[in-house]
Structure 1
């Protein structure tokens, strides 16, 4: 489900009086997802598709980079790094090929924004790719897609074919002199390949494992050449900026986190789905739009950016969902995967399932993550089953601390986040499992019990 509203209703959260929840929505990428055959070139062009590209091609590459930089667009893949600045890092006049790699390996539990975007509006990504390649002086772009989503893969291949046939890809695009080839690559389903350097290794045909940095991809990325790696939503947002202007983009969101973005709302909510809104909206406002928690239940805990970000409780309902606001409250905005759990959910069970996922997906390259996630799973399973001891709580906290910030990539940090945040807010619940010799929650009252923990975003 996708919620949309007219753009003129969009406003900066908290600016100039109270606005109804619906007026805080800002459908741009999702503006016509509900229209028949929204994924086709014909539908896309009816909504000013590729008009932003024409404006960008009329500008010098460095001017395009400066324009995107001035717009304040930040990476939508998790870290929030300024997109224009990332493009600016590419060295010029080095005599090497430059590459653009789009990270479409959406694997974070609870995250569901890039895949729906590619399924409903793939041409927004393709147009953004052409603009980005013009800016960084690249003639080759790659889309690294999660291989399990075969319908999306087929639709993306068809969109690329349409773009070639219409002259938006290939030789001398729109008479600009730009030549560009786009290759769609299907990955084999490894969570670690969502990390940009592991993705590059996988794209080169090697086992997906993180690289030591420096050198960074901007200097030595794909095939040891300067490479920009961007998230799907980051690149797909560029055409609208070029078409409607950087000031229009900055009129939404907050000063340091401007613009619109897709929030994935899932879990025990009445109407889960993708909600496109300005950065800085709150979970309370999003829940107002989605009908709140399921009838008769209340919010217990939630994740602001997927399971790899420290969890929040109902005390954080009014935290602005932008990079600064969430960071100041002690978590990370991440992929904006808002997983909401009610009071029937066992925190220990949820954290155990997430940790099992990270242990399974660890590439094994570095010791803290490889060994730490394994031992976390053993201890958490014992605690959940009522076989743990009080000393195990300090032990899992210590192991999480030994992983956090000490692994090659952010997978280790993501595995540690649910541990220390759940101990911070729900230590008593862990203690109940130990003193009561088992889980105090009634499985008949929770939708998270069974063979498939769907609301956790992972399989049991």
Structure 2
């Protein structure tokens, strides 16, 4: 099959997060070159129709079957890609192999190195991926060198925020045949890669398996991510000459199931998921007692692209959501700032704060912070790649209270600091509504949880509350006095 990214012939792409909806458009009775591609990472734009010819692409957002009929008729009549009043038109090289930037929400900035295949190449097309330089291999030393320059991405990664190569060397030197686990559970960015660019992820997994002499590659995903599971399963079936046999395993939907050792528990078939004590870490004793490397799709896709294109300028794939005009997963340079990330979509209302770093990220008023690991850590923010934007209509006490309650309900229960600490944290926040705000007790509880929990769930569960108190002390005091500045907690206060 010929790649759709080569030459200057006409191609009409249909991108949709719902594959059934995309298929209904692309099979609506037309004889033209209409192909299904994966989701963009910006659901508000989808179904997105991209009409490409001779180095120009017209983008039509949120299309119906009737829209596709109109677009196709216009192209057939005029021969122009932009004859049906597109939302954006961009020029690019005729053989471009990644979605170009466009003046649309979520697509305005960034070169989409890791997300390049998303909504531009067919997710399971061997020809498309090969034409983009995919399926390339690398010798072990080159892979280790690149791994030294890459940090693990996401809380589901065994090496989150740390260079990868030392963990790889440990697994390679440990007795037993290593296993590579692709932990695609939970993160919107990881789900997007499995749904729209699975070969990038599998390239990274395969070259890593070759480097550490692994004899098994397991792609692990939530049982609820139907499209991701279906797409990556198809990619596994068609992947040419993998370094080790590949398989897809699904696990429970619970948030905690993404923690690296609990992911291993789920793959082993254990019904009660509990974090494992470390040391030894999974790189020494993991799946079935074998050395196991657990990496997110983001990490492995960065590895694959880094081997192919170099790592001089690194990027981060991040999801911005909450009180925004359009939820989006985007890719920006590590030199860019949170403000630029939020600007790609726009705030719905007036900006008040952001929770940076996922479920247990840090609360900040300041978006003048770089998105790289060092900058985020220095600002006491999280690096999980998710930013929840909060408008001035939000109550911070209510927001972090929900996070604390979630932690109390969803922790695995194995270690006392997390199990009891999260319950106490939720109780201390409820006390605020009863007129008792003890910031010192909350800070001390957070310190104990962060220093003595056995996994990152407990270590970080108190961060949203602690950082919210630091940035919005007056709101907590107001609630203790019976007032909600945002006006959203009046009923709880009156009750």
Q: TM-score, normalised by structure 1?
A: 0.78
Give the aligned partner of residue 170 of structure 2.
Answer: 89
Report the aligned-residue RMSD: 2.7
Match of 1:212 among 277, 294, 299: 277
Match of 2:487 among 418, 442, 452: 442
The range that moved more, 151-160 or 79-88, is 79-88
Cα distance change, pair 102–22 in 1 and its aligned pair in 2 (3 A):
closer
- Measure the CA separation in 1 of the matches of 2:205 and 2:121: 24
Cα distance change, pair 269–39 in 1 and its aligned pair in 2 (3 A):
farther
CA deviation after TM superposition for structure 1 residue 444, in Å: 11
Give the aligned partner of residue 100 of structure 1.
Answer: 180
Give the aligned partner of residue 452 of structure 1.
Answer: none
Match of 2:132 among 41, 44, 47: 47
Contact 1:6 1:27 in 2 (8 A): no
Query: After the TM superposition, which residues 267-346 of structure 1 pair with which residues of structure 2 at under 5 Å, given as runs?
Result: 267-290=322-345, 292-294=346-348, 297-313=349-365, 316-332=366-382, 334-346=383-395
- Measure the CA separation in 1 of the matches of 2:486 and 2:228: 39
Deviations, residues 213-240 of structure 1 (Å, cap 9, x unaligned): 1112222121212221111111112222
1:371 matches 2:420: yes
Give the aligned partner of residue 203 of structure 1.
Answer: 267
Match of 1:168 among 238, 241, 257: 241
Deviations, residues 349-391 of structure 1 (Å, cap 9, x unaligned): 10011111111111111111111211222332343xx32323x
Q: Which is richer in helix? A: 1
- Measure the CA separation in 1 of the matches of 2:307 and 2:169: 17
1:80 matches 2:161: yes
Residue segments in structure 1 that go unaligned for 5+ positions in a row: 9-20, 170-177, 253-258, 450-460
- How many residue pairs end up in the alignment? 390
- Measure the CA separation in 1 of the matches of 2:91 and 2:316: 15
CA deviation after TM superposition for structure 1 residue 439, in Å: 3.0
- Measure the CA separation in 2 of the matches of 1:276 and 1:117: 12
1:69 matches 2:123: no
Contact 2:41 2:192 in 1 (8 A): no
Cα distance change, pair 223–64 in 1 and its aligned pair in 2 (3 A):
farther
Contact 1:405 1:412 in 2 (8 A): no
Give the aligned partner of residue 389 of structure 1.
Answer: 436
Q: Which structure would you say has the larger RCO, counting Cα contacts within 8 Å and 6 or more residues apart? A: 1
- Measure the CA separation in 1 of the matches of 2:175 and 2:352: 56
Give the aligned partner of residue 56 of structure 2.
Answer: none
Cα distance change, pair 84–298 in 1 and its aligned pair in 2 (3 A):
same
SS at match of 2:472: helix
Contact 1:26 1:260 in 2 (8 A): no
- Measure the CA separation in 2 of the matches of 1:394 and 1:263: 33
Contact 1:98 1:225 in 2 (8 A): yes
- Measure the CA separation in 1 of the matches of 2:163 and 2:185: 20
Give the aligned partner of residue 223 of structure 2.
Answer: 147
Deviations, residues 378-430 of structure 1 (Å, cap 9, x unaligned): 332343xx32323x444333332332221111111221101111111111101
CA deviation after TM superposition for structure 1 residue 306, in Å: 1.2
Give the aligned partner of residue 222 of structure 1.
Answer: 287
Cα distance change, pair 374–6 in 1 and its aligned pair in 2 (3 A):
farther
Contact 2:319 2:328 in 1 (8 A): yes
Contact 1:264 1:275 in 2 (8 A): yes
- Measure the CA separation in 1 of the matches of 2:359 and 2:146: 30
Deviations, residues 4-52 of structure 1 (Å, cap 9, x unaligned): 99999xxxxxxxxxxxx988613112223223743433432332221x2
Match of 2:249 among 167, 180, 185: 185
The range that moved more, 116-125 or 72-81, is 72-81
